[in-house]
């Protein structure tokens, strides 16, 4: 009953005053997270029946939405039973302690994430968005989560400090459970606590969390890690699962040896725990002995065989990176971590485990994004038999402390996830029900910014939302730092015309610049192919449509002005990229023809692109601060910070390509 009361609190507040009282019920025959709407009783009670507490909580939120949208009680009784389309709707949050990379972009969130208010607000927000799994990622989270009675030398913190850490995590996992949200702790291999490493003279890479290279696999380290897994599950009764990756610090091991280690250590530790827990097992990312090796069909088959033989007390699934680190590039699976995909893991559909997609976002941290049709298409194409859900999140950005917004600009939010609120609502609600219409999101915007703002803002957002996708498809990518679309950055620096000429688009029906010019010079037809000039024209069309849609709210003030400015910024970035593509085509033609006239035209087009960039820098610096960005190392990112680099290219253009 206490859990039901906590779920019911989600629907309380001023919006519910006209709804009468709520009757909450659980009917386990409905199944996990399912809900049934059985109308309004004669005494005016709204009845919410869930298959479990999570179903009740979601039903309460749906009821509140209906009251806010003034469709209660008329539209309430007709809803009937509903089950989420995807059972895993996960938010990926990297922790700043023992973080995957050591960088200011992650370190800056430590204080914020020690504050219980952050977690309570985040979990309330996740419930609102219909996200149902909080996944926390760290190379080795155990040393700040558990005390190991058999390994007192592993304690890195004092007794008082450890008590504070444990109080925090007990609170976080309890808050999640109250809201019907699962919680998982993810870690990589093979690591130990810093104190353990010093005491035993092992795993020196744990002093600075250097995650690439061979790992140490002695019986002592195996026993320690097995105890970590067991003790984590036993210490936190509200923690629902763990996740483990067979990759970092498993260099020098074959794929078979990595799999055996996971069974001897992680799976064994779970089996020794006093209660069941779920496991998300990421199969080997390398078919070779190094961390950065390529996957093969054979390594995928090995992963499938491991998943089919592993026995864990709870649920088992695996997670696959969708298009590597750039999941918002195309809804078609073109890459996974390590290379081209096979269908081994999901064809035929598995019965011993399930598959979830990891849709990483390393392409836009500053500008808000909202393209519901992209998500709908993603779910339609990839919601195949055997797929249980999606993770959304980033490796390079934590949505905790808002280090982006200038504080004097009228923001009405505190945390990073509140800043990107629409992104999370789109993914979470569409994962729960892909039939969710745009009117739901328009209503959310109306409630946030005022009646009449939702339709123009969402329409504009969905048009400019295609811009980072077009950039990613054309430039292509692999891991995190190979592309940062909103900054037009690749690992070498700002995207140049040389980089555009050399690019091979990820989509097979897109033509590269050389392939387009070859077809043009040979007079070959290019029907069914998107050419670089057509891409530039398409971007321009999307920009014009977005700005036209934005006109009714273009002069907005207050918090809405931030979102309007982001649409305008995407438009300027799109025009900059389109003119760069045009300039690159003209430069390539100039070199083929050795034409000074074409070279000058390319320089004119590039100068126009630079003009868009300068305006973009002016617009964004009014509201955003320079931020730490991993792809830039120690250098801060803003469009103004990169302006000199972008300007300098105009003078470098030559008929002779660089050596």
* Predicted pLDDT at 47: 82
Q: Angle 408-411-412 (CA atoms, 0-180°, nearest 5)?
A: 135
Distance CA 198, CA 589 (A): 61
Q: Which residues of 642-656 are buried (b: 16+ CB within 10 A; e: fewer)?
A: bbeebeebbeebeee
Distance CA 458, CA 478 (A): 30
What are the pLDDT digits (tens) for 35-62? Answer: 887 766 677 677 888 999 899 888 888 8
Q: Angle 477-87-421 (CA atoms, 0-180°, nearest 5)?
A: 60
For every residue of 204-228, DSSP letters joined together read GGGTTT--SSB----HHHHHHHHHH
Note the Cα 485 to chain centre separation in Å.
15
| Closest C-alpha to 130, from 430, 504, 502 | 430
| CA-to-CA separations, 161 to 144, 164, 234, in angstroms, rounded | 9, 5, 20
The residues, any chain, with a CB within 8 Å of residue 642's CB and separated by 6 or more, are 487, 489, 494, 617
Longest dimension (CA), the chain: 85
Coil, strand or helix: which one is 249?
coil
Stretches in the chain below the pLDDT threshold 70? 1-21, 39-41, 44, 71-79, 285, 292-293
Distance CA 562, CA 487 (A): 18
Beta bridge partners of 182: 133
Identify the DSSP state of 102.
Answer: -
* Contact call for residues 60 and 10 (beta carbons, < 8 A): yes
* Contact call for residues 33 and 84 (beta carbons, < 8 A): yes
What are the pLDDT digits (tens) for 305-316? Answer: 999 999 999 999
* Predicted pLDDT at 16: 46
Quote the pTM value.
0.96
- Which backbone phi and psi does 245 adopt, to 5 degrees? -115, 135
* Predicted pLDDT at 491: 96
- Which backbone phi and psi does 552 adopt, to 5 degrees? -65, -20
* Predicted pLDDT at 247: 85
- Which backbone phi and psi does 595 adopt, to 5 degrees? -110, 110
Coil, strand or helix: which one is 605?
helix
Length, in residues, of the chain: 659
Token code pair at residue 361: 């976002």
* Predicted pLDDT at 15: 45
Does an H or E element contain 3, and which? Answer: helix 2-8
């Amino acid at each position: 009953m206490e859990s039901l009361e906590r779920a019911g609190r989600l629907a309380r507040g001023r919006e519910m005053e006209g709804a009468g009282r709520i009757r909450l019920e659980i009917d386990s025959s409905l199944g996990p997270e399912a809900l049934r709407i059985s109308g309004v009783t004669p005494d005016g009670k709204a009845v919410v029946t869930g298959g479990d507490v999570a179903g009740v909580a979601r039903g309460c939120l749906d009821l509140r939405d209906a009251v806010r949208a003034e469709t209660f009680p008329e539209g309430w009784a007709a809803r009937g039973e509903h089950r989420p389309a995807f059972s895993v709707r996960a938010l990926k949050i990297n922790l700043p302690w023992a973080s995957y990379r050591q960088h200011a972009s992650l370190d800056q969130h430590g204080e914020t994430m020690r504050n219980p208010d952050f977690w309570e607000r985040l979990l309330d927000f996740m419930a609102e968005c219909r996200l149902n799994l909080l996944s926390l990622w760290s190379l080795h989270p155990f040393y700040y989560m558990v005390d190991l009675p058999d390994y007192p030398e592993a304690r890195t913190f004092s007794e008082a400090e450890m008590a504070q850490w444990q109080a925090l995590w007990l609170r976080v996992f309890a808050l999640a459970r109250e809201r019907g949200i699962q919680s998982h702790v993810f870690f990589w291999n093979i690591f130990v606590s810093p104190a353990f490493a010093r005491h035993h003279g092992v795993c020196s890479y744990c002093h600075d969390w250097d995650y690439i290279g061979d790992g140490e696999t002695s019986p002592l380290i195996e026993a320690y890690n097995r105890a970590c897994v067991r003790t984590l599950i036993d210490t936190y009764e509200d923690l629902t699962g763990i996740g483990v990756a067979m990759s970092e610090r498993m260099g020098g091991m074959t794929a078979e040896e990595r799999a055996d280690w996971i069974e001897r250590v992680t799976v064994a530790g779970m089996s020794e725990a006093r209660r069941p827990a779920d496991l998300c097992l990421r199969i080997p990312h390398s078919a070779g002995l190094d961390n950065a090796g390529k996957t093969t069909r054979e390594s995928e088959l090995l992963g499938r065989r491991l998943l089919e033989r592993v026995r864990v007390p709870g649920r088992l699934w695996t997670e696959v990176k969708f298009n590597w680190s750039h999941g918002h590039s195309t809804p078609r699976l073109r890459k996974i971590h390590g290379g081209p995909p096979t269908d081994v893991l999901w064809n035929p559909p598995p019965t011993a485990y399930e598959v979830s997609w990891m849709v990483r976002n390393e392409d836009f941290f500053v500008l808000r994004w909202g393209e519901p049709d992209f998500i709908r298409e993603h779910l339609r194409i990839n919601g195949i038999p055997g797929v249980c859900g999606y993770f959304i999140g980033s490796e390079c950005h934590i949505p905790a402390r808002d280090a982006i917004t200038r504080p004097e600009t009228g923001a009405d939010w505190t945390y990073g996830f509140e800043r990107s609120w629409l992104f999370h609502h789109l993914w979470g609600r569409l994962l729960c029900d892909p039939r969710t219409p745009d009117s739901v999101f328009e209503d959310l915007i109306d409630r946030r910014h005022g009646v009449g703002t939702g339709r123009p803002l969402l329409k504009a957002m969905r048009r400019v939302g295609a811009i980072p996708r077009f950039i990613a498809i054309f430039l292509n990518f692999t891991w995190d730092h190979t592309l940062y679309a909103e900054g037009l950055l690749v690992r070498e620096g700002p995207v140049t015309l040389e980089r555009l000429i050399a690019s091979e688009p990820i989509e097979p029906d897109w033509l590269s610049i050389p392939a387009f010019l070859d077809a043009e010079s040979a007079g070959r037809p290019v029907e069914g192919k998107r050419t670089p000039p057509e891409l530039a024209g398409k971007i321009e069309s999307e920009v014009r449509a977005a700005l036209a849609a934005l006109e009714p709210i273009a002069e907005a003030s207050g918090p809405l002005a931030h979102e309007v400015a982001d649409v305008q910024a995407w438009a300027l970035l799109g025009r900059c990229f389109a003119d760069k593509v045009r300039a690159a085509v003209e430069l390539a033609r100039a070199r083929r023809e050795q034409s000074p006239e074409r070279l000058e035209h390319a320089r004119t087009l590039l100068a126009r692109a630079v003009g868009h960039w300068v305006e973009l820098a002016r617009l964004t610096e009014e509201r955003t601060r320079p931020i730490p960005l991993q792809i830039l190392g120690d250098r801060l990112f803003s469009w103004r910070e990169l302006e000199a680099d972008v300007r300098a290219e105009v003078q470098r253009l030559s008929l002779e390509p660089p050596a």
